[in-house]
Amino acid sequence: MKIRFLQHFALLASCLLLLPGKAPGEAFADTARVKALYDSVHAHYKNDYPGTIFFLDSIQRYTLSRCAVNEYFLALKWAMQCAQDHHQLDQLHHYLDVGQEALAGLEHDLGPAKQGLEADLKAFWASYYFKIASYQKAIRAHEELIEALKRKDSLTVRDRELIARSCQYLGTIQKLRGDYQDAIPYFWASLDYVKEMWASYEAMGRIAFTYQQIGKCYEGMGNDRQALWYNNLAQESLKKAGHNYQEGADPGARLRLKKNLITTYNSIAAFYLAREDGAKALQYLEKSLSYHVKDDTYLKSTAHLLGEVHALAGRYDTALYYYQLALKEKTEDYGPRNYSTALTYMAIGQLYARQDGYEKAVCYYDTAIGILSTRPELLEALEEVDWNTIFAERALINVLGAKASALSESFQARQDSAYLREAWASSRAAIKLVEQLRIDYNSEEDKQFLLKDCYPIFETAMYAGYRLGPDRYPALFEIAEKSKALLLVDWHRNLNALQRANIPDSLLQLERLYKGDVSIIEGLIAEENSKAESNLEEIRNLYQKLASARKKYDGLMALFEEEYHLGGPAREKGYSGLLPFLQKKLLKKEQCLAEYFLGDEHLFVLTVDREAIHANHIPLDFPIADWARQFRSGIYDYHLSPAPTAELFRHTQNQYATYGWKLYQALVSPIKGHLRREVVIIPDGVLGYLPFEALLTEPASNLSGDFAAYPYLLKQHQVSYCYSASLLKAMKEKQYRSSGLLAFAPAFPRTRTAAALPIAMLRSEIDTLYYNIEEVKTIRSILKGGNIQTGPQASKQAFLDLAPRYKVIHIASHGILNDSVSSQSYIAFYGGEDRMAEHNLLVRDLYPLRLEAELVTLSACETGLGALRRGEGIISLARGFAYAGAKSILTTFWAVNDQSTTEVMGRFYRHLKKGESKDAALHRAKAEYISSQADPFEAHPFYWASYIVIGDMVPLYGRSWGWWIALGLLSGSLLYWFARRRRLGLEQKR
């Protein structure tokens, strides 16, 4: 290679001596001879790389010896393209070095062609960096190329083609990193440029490829419906592309089109493989194979997928044959260090793991790790991650997780703790990467899906750490925390950091506006994607707006970091000091925290009090999701039924008694010895839908209608909740200066007669509320003042204008849950006879708000419910208020009864005003409600268990000491009087 470079350099020097006096770009070459050489290139291009390069090098030497500069560069670009198409990366780098030297030496003699050659060379460098997985260099090179081309007065077809390719590369890099929301705008931008080149022979193939890449992003985000839809769009384009392929004449273009066809069919096959539909995957692989030829350089990806098809069917020997074929082809084409090669090593490891060959599996995983990281020893040492030593971060996380899982299985088979220690180290290394990669993601949705995908790794770490013993329990607590509500935690840390940084109010308002814009656009994208027929043009426009909004927000945060030394909130070391904070500052003597971690096979509970931390492992040998559903149905199905029959009542009563006791035995009984009277519960997964206080501490054998006598957990423990302990800490650290009560009680038109009202006058349908105005007036009376907005004054705009100023916010209205798109769940405000959506306070409307509320009470239906997102929790209206800055939220689990709500709320605020903590006030309100019912049926948990309180439980008001002082004075007076009488009596006796 060095000799060839020196030969080119010698010819270049000769050309520079001859060029003076010649017109720029003047050709000296024999065109007939050059044409004959190019005919030979065309004949060998597809399958004979060495032969093709031989003829291209001949053209370069000949044209350079004749000082035909433009023809020389044309042949050089052909050589670069050929090396790239055939994955000969060392030779691509050689030609890039030659081109760079030639461009520097001949720049004054190229004339108008110089700018185009510079762009082509930048494009090839960017492609080279991508192919060797140097992604940061690739990103910089592609961004510089796009910026340079966009500065031109007008774009040529070639310019548009280069921009389209760069956008595809940038999108692919973000996709590989798992930053899907950042990837999609690049793919849409690529499509815009490709569609401007409809006359291009390759356009349909590129369009198909781009649609498929967008589909892969949606697949990565867990949106299978959208992924399939884009795959179908890709297939429609593939049909046209296949027709063009048959008619095409240009061998280079045919080869690139073939690559698009094979890649797209293979990716659709991979989509079905991920859903374990091997038959469907094989259909698309057969279409892909129809474009292959003998010794095809693209066989490696198809062979890998064929291996997956056979592995899925249990044909392990055949699967191994195809994996080894893929490995051979990839190693020859890509060299020893490529993420695609690592994925095949990982697949072979998984193949052995399926057959219980865990030691062989680990060997293959280690090989993959060695490919993806140049310093694997730093990973398991939990050192700060140097991204320059890592290729394809998501792939590395997956391999580390697979290795940890295999080691854990080895331990269970052999009971050798050495395997357990290795599983612990590998899983923690993967979690460390997850944590740092999450920091670099811009999209909150991508951060959440990263955690969801990696949740099994957290479960492996929890199991390994638990089995290794109590000295690992503090680390287990940290791991459990890293798996929960991270977006909320980051957001509250960010708010706290902004408060401490002395940033001007005008800039803080701008930060709220920009962040709100990003969140709202993300919500609109989610809503559009949820439709049965999405509008492609609307989605494209929304992603353009999202890219622009993110750019503005990122620019402002960069200013904060530079001018006000504000670091990213996720970089705060918030976990290592969390446990000491809980034990020394947050938990009271009579209080403990119970944090649940719910995996696929294991349930762990970490119980923390001021002195100790305990861990319990509960095997998931029971259907916990079904038990939770049965428990909830037993509480509310009868009351919410349009036909509440006696038979339905008996069924739901038995259902509640059965599962209330079963869930207590499974979830609480194992940790009973560690519990204090007051318990802070950090739920996980479906446990977030459970009102723990309604669990039954004993079997309810006497199923009478006297619900006041049931053995509720409420009677033993005072319970509060939070999304995570880290969030609880962040909420507690907030310092607000707001004051006063703001309460809303909208009026709604009556749509049903009194006779048509159900047994429970509920707040889940938009109809007249009979008690909400009375409710807010009672609360104002209890708290000795406040701003209440009733009837027409209780509008959404009034809430948005007033809410940021108040300490206590109470909303007594209708709450409507949207199960499919949580961002469309809403609280209804006054709109007169107009039922238009703009009168509804959606979850996404809360994101731009910055509340300074110590307490938000959502006296409406189902405000604590929403879609469950693993790793983040339930995406509910309550969570939206936590996101907006509320330190605590009182919310509901199901459609609540209007009259009982008013009664419970009144009692809650009375105790709150007396200086009790929020959890104590709600606990007393529920207990008093149960004991005060003349009809014991109305002590049913349907009427009181829906209400839970989340967050910081600190009292809102100081205790009233007047009565205690008066009592003390009276007691002192009585003691003095008795003492005086006794002394007088003694004197009389004398």
Name the β-bridge partners of 857: 810, 890
491 in a structural domain: yes
Q: Taking 60 as the threshold, does the pLDDT of residue 24 lie above it?
A: no
pLDDT in tens, 608-656: 999 999 999 999 999 999 999 999 999 999 988 888 899 999 999 999 9
532 in a structural domain: yes
Q: Which of 500, 517, 532 is the last residue of a domain?
A: 500
pLDDT band at 823; cut points 50, 70, 90 = low
Which residue, chain included where needed, has tokens 């959890």?
919
Whole domain around residue 815: which residue ranges? 735-959
Structure confidence at residue 15 (pLDDT) = 46
Minimum mean pLDDT among 147-151, 319-323, 342-346, 704-708: which range? Answer: 704-708
Query: How many C-beta neighbours within 10 Å does residue 753 have?
Result: 7
State whether 379 and 456 are in the same domain. yes
Structure confidence at residue 253 (pLDDT) = 65
* Cβ atoms of residues 757 and 522 within 8 Å: no
State whether 506 and 444 are in the same domain. no
Looking at per-residue confidence, does 505 or 399 come out higher?
A: 399
Q: Is 25 left (phi over 0), alpha (psi -120 to 50) or beta?
A: left
Which residue, chain included where needed, has tokens 């219980």?
356
State whether 833 and 713 are in the same domain. no
As a whole number of angstroms, the longest Cα–Cα distance in the chain is 147
Q: Which of 672, 687, 721 is the last residue of a domain?
A: 721
pLDDT over 90 for what percent of the chain? Answer: 35
618 in a structural domain: yes
215 in a structural domain: no
Distance of alpha carbon 125 from alpha carbon 137, whole angstroms:
9
Distance of alpha carbon 401 from alpha carbon 432, whole angstroms:
12
pTM of the model: 0.79
* Mean pLDDT computed over 844-868: 79
pLDDT band at 792; cut points 50, 70, 90 = confident
Residue type, 213: Q
State whether 760 and 698 are in the same domain. no
DSSP 876: E
Q: Any idea what the Cα angle at residue 479 is, between residues 475 and 480, rounded to 5°?
A: 115
pLDDT over 70 for what percent of the chain? Answer: 80
455 in a structural domain: yes
pLDDT band at 963; cut points 50, 70, 90 = very low
What CATH number does residue 492 fall under? Answer: 1.25.40
Distance of alpha carbon 436 from alpha carbon 696, whole angstroms:
42
How many residues in the chain?
A: 990
Distance of alpha carbon 502 from alpha carbon 495, whole angstroms:
12
Structure confidence at residue 1 (pLDDT) = 45
State whether 366 and 390 are in the same domain. yes
Q: Taking 70 as the threshold, does the pLDDT of residue 21 lie above it?
A: no
State whether 812 and 939 are in the same domain. yes
Distance of alpha carbon 445 from alpha carbon 337, whole angstroms:
31
Instruction: Choose among 172, 114, 173, 177: nearest CA to 148.
Output: 114
Tokens of 329: 């082809």
Minimum mean pLDDT among 105-114, 189-198, 281-290, 743-752: which range? Answer: 105-114
State whether 748 and 860 are in the same domain. yes
Q: Taking 70 as the threshold, does the pLDDT of residue 585 lie above it?
A: yes
DSSP 623: -
Domain count, the chain: 6
The torsion of the CA quartet 581, 587, 589, 590, rounded to 10 degrees, works out to -160
DSSP 951: E
pLDDT in tens, 251-308: 666 776 777 778 888 988 998 998 899 999 999 999 899 888 777 777 889 999 999 9
Instruction: Choose among 213, 315, 322, 221: nearest CA to 266.
Output: 213
265 in a structural domain: no
Q: Which of 654, 686, 721 is the last residue of a domain?
A: 721
State whether 878 and 931 are in the same domain. yes
Q: Which residues contact 775 (CB under 8 A, 6 or more apart)?
A: 745, 812, 859, 901, 902, 905, 906
pLDDT band at 569; cut points 50, 70, 90 = very low
State whether 665 and 805 are in the same domain. no
State whether 609 and 509 are in the same domain. no
Q: How far is CA 626 from the centre of its chain?
A: 26
pLDDT in tens, 345-358: 999 999 999 999 99
State whether 900 and 799 are in the same domain. yes
pLDDT band at 556; cut points 50, 70, 90 = confident
Instruction: Choose among 738, 751, 827, 744: nearest CA to 787.
Output: 744
Buried residues in 563-601 as b, exposed as e (16+ CB within 10 A): eeebeebbebebbeebbebbbeebbeeebbbbbbbbbee
298 in a structural domain: no
Q: Taking 70 as the threshold, does the pLDDT of residue 905 lie above it?
A: yes
pLDDT band at 970; cut points 50, 70, 90 = low
Distance of alpha carbon 754 from alpha carbon 770, whole angstroms:
11
Distance of alpha carbon 439 from alpha carbon 894, whole angstroms:
35
Radius of gyration of the chain (CA): 34
What CATH number does residue 665 fall under? Answer: 3.30.420
Buried residues in 531-552 as b, exposed as e (16+ CB within 10 A): eeebeeeebbebbebbbebbee
126 in a structural domain: no
State whether 822 and 787 are in the same domain. yes
Q: Taking 50 as the threshold, does the pLDDT of residue 410 lie above it?
A: yes
